[in-house]
Structure formats: structure tokens, C-alpha cells
Amino acid sequence: MDDRHRELLPMIRRNVALEARLIDDLLDLTAISAGKVSLHRERVDMHQLTRAVVAMVQDTLQEKGIRLELELDAASPWVHADQARMQQVLWNIIRNAAKFTPEGGRILVCTTTEGGEFTLSCTDSGIGIAQDALDRIFNPFEQADAEVSRSFGGLGLGLAIAQGLMQQHGGRIRASSGGRGSGASFSIALPCTEAAEASPPPAMSAPAAGADRKRVLLVEDNEDAAAALAMCLEEYGYEVQHVSTCADALRTAGAGGFDAVLTDLGLPDGSGIELGRALSKELPVLALSGYGREQDRKRSAEAGFAAHLVKPADPAEVHARLMQVLSGQAIDA
């Protein structure tokens, strides 16, 4: 590959990712409108999820010099929700704030607990929303006005999807703005989960000694994400070996000695689904995916995966699923 084509690769990847995101949004909106979205409810820490989503938009914040402040003051951040779908809601809200806030602007994300509800608000110093547009910004294919559409692109689906998902969770989403040039604020509210309704995450155990340590092959092309997850799993007592490609995973797993495989589904040299299909004949394989829709989980299960975990993966959940898989328990992928 010559230098010119190498320089074009990042642009091609960005455009492919954008097209994939638009297609996924259309599919999501269709499923929500038809009432065909299945929620996999669990106890979700909204503070942890918020921090994860903020980390996902850090590149945009740094490029534009936007200062994002977190005031996570909710006494109870726990809700009973589908983690992947809640991540999608937060992503749409916080990404929009970063998108519509000019260089050097400010975003404030706050949480509170009041009257048995968890509330999160995201307030920005961005372009604002005209009063006559506030009533329609949650409609599919609607944006504040034609100028916004020309300047910022997009199909106007994110807020419609967020509203549909909040309604399915028995929650609500609201928007407010002082008008154009005055910034905007979006808030979501969900019933809190009582502590008695859910058991706490598994306690972190001390690393086992010698041969008792379970060996996990981690297949992940994002070096930072892999290092962070590997460190957490090692604290739980696992021995973790990391590779970045399908080819390396097949070669390393083939050498033997592993108890389980944890793999991303989007790998640079092939499909994580096909990798799982091949390795699951000999080892339990768990999927790491940015998507948690019913069809995504079903696809993983059909390929032989023992579990389907949604990014950003909570290390405690990964540990819990590994414990179940390694003890021979059947779990819902």
C-alpha cells in the first residue's frame, strides 16, 4: 500500500463507521416504532455508565477544547435497565452536546436522586434550540432547522431513539433551551432500584496461586481498552494473555492451555463472530460488542458464544460471566 492510500485509510474508516451508525439508527427506530425491542434489564450503575460514555467522546472534547464537568451527586445511581440501551441514550445526549457546542465551550453533566427517581441532566453552552423547535426535536428525521442540518449533518434520529428507549424503560426525557445562542439542556429520569432488589456484584477475590489461576485469552485491537480490562481481570485472579487479531488468536489458542476466550467482535483482520464459531468448539468464548440488541445477542448465541457482553464492559460483570461459564452454568447469552 502506497503512502497516499495509507493516508486515506482513516477517512475511509470514519465514513464506513458513519454509514454503519446511520443504518443502525434506522434499524433501531424501526424496531422501537414496531414495539420489537427486547430489554435485557439488570442493575445498572448510571454513574459508571456516564463516565464510560464521557470517555467515548473525549476525542471530540479535546479537539474542540470543550470543558466537560461531572457533578455526579445522586445518592443512588442504580436503576433497573438494559445497560446497552441506557448507554445508547446517554451517548445520544452527551454526543449531541459535544457536537453542538462550539470550540472553548462548556458542558455540565449532573445527577440527582429525588422522590425515588434518578435524574441526569446534560447542559451545554452550544447553539441552543429555538422555542418553536423544542416540541418537534424528538420527532424522527427532525432537526432544529435547515441551517443546523446543513452545518452539522445527521438524519435527526438520535433523540427520537432516545425518547423511545426512555419510554420503554418507564422513564422520560426532556429538553429545554433559552433559544438560539443560549445553549440547551437535556434531562432523563428513571425510577431508582432499591438495594434489596438486586444482589451486589461479586466480591473481588485474591489471585489464586499457580495452577489454580484460570487462563483467559483476550482478543481486542484497542490497546488501551485491552490493558484496562486485563488489569482488572488479573486483580480477580485470572492470568490474561492479550492478542489483537483473529490470526494471532487462532494461533495462540491453538497452542492450548487456556480456559476461556474473551473477544471483541470487530477485529482488523476478520470477524469476531467467525473467530468465536471456530474457537467455541474447544473453549468457552465470550463476546465483547458495542451492540446489545436482540438480534446481536441471538447472532452470538447461534455462533456458539457462551455469553454476549456489551461495551463498555463492567469488569465485575465479565468476572461474573466467566465464573458462570467456567463452572459449567448455562447463562443467557
Q: What digits encode the pLDDT tens for the residues 18-39?
A: 444 444 555 555 666 666 667 8
Question: For 170, left (φ over 0), alpha (ψ -120 to 50), or beta?
Answer: left
State the cell numbers at 96.
Answer: 449531541
Q: In this predicted structure, what is the pLDDT of residue 315?
A: 80
CA dihedral for 144, 147, 151, 156, sign (positive or negative): positive
Rounded to 5 degrees, what are φ and ψ at 107?
-130, 135
- Interval 81-106 mean pLDDT: 90
Q: Are 94 and 58 in contact (CB under 8 A)?
A: no
Q: What one-character-per-residue DSSP string does 303-314 give? A: TT-SEEEESSPP
pLDDT in tens, 293-309: 788 889 999 999 999 98
CA distance 28 to 36: 9
Residue among 154, 63, 54 nearest 97 (CA): 54
CA distance 258 to 183: 53
Domain 215-327 classified CATH 3.40.50.12240? no
pLDDT in tens, 72-91: 999 999 999 988 788 889 98
* DSSP label of 260: E
Residue among 326, 169, 213 nearest 262 (CA): 326
CA distances for 124 relative to 97, 197, 250, angstroms: 6, 35, 47
Residue spans of the domains in the chain: they are 27-191, 215-327
Domain 27-191 classified CATH 3.30.565.10? yes
pLDDT in tens, 120-172: 999 999 988 988 888 788 887 665 555 554 444 454 678 888 899 999 999 99
How many Å is the Cα radius of gyration of the chain? 21
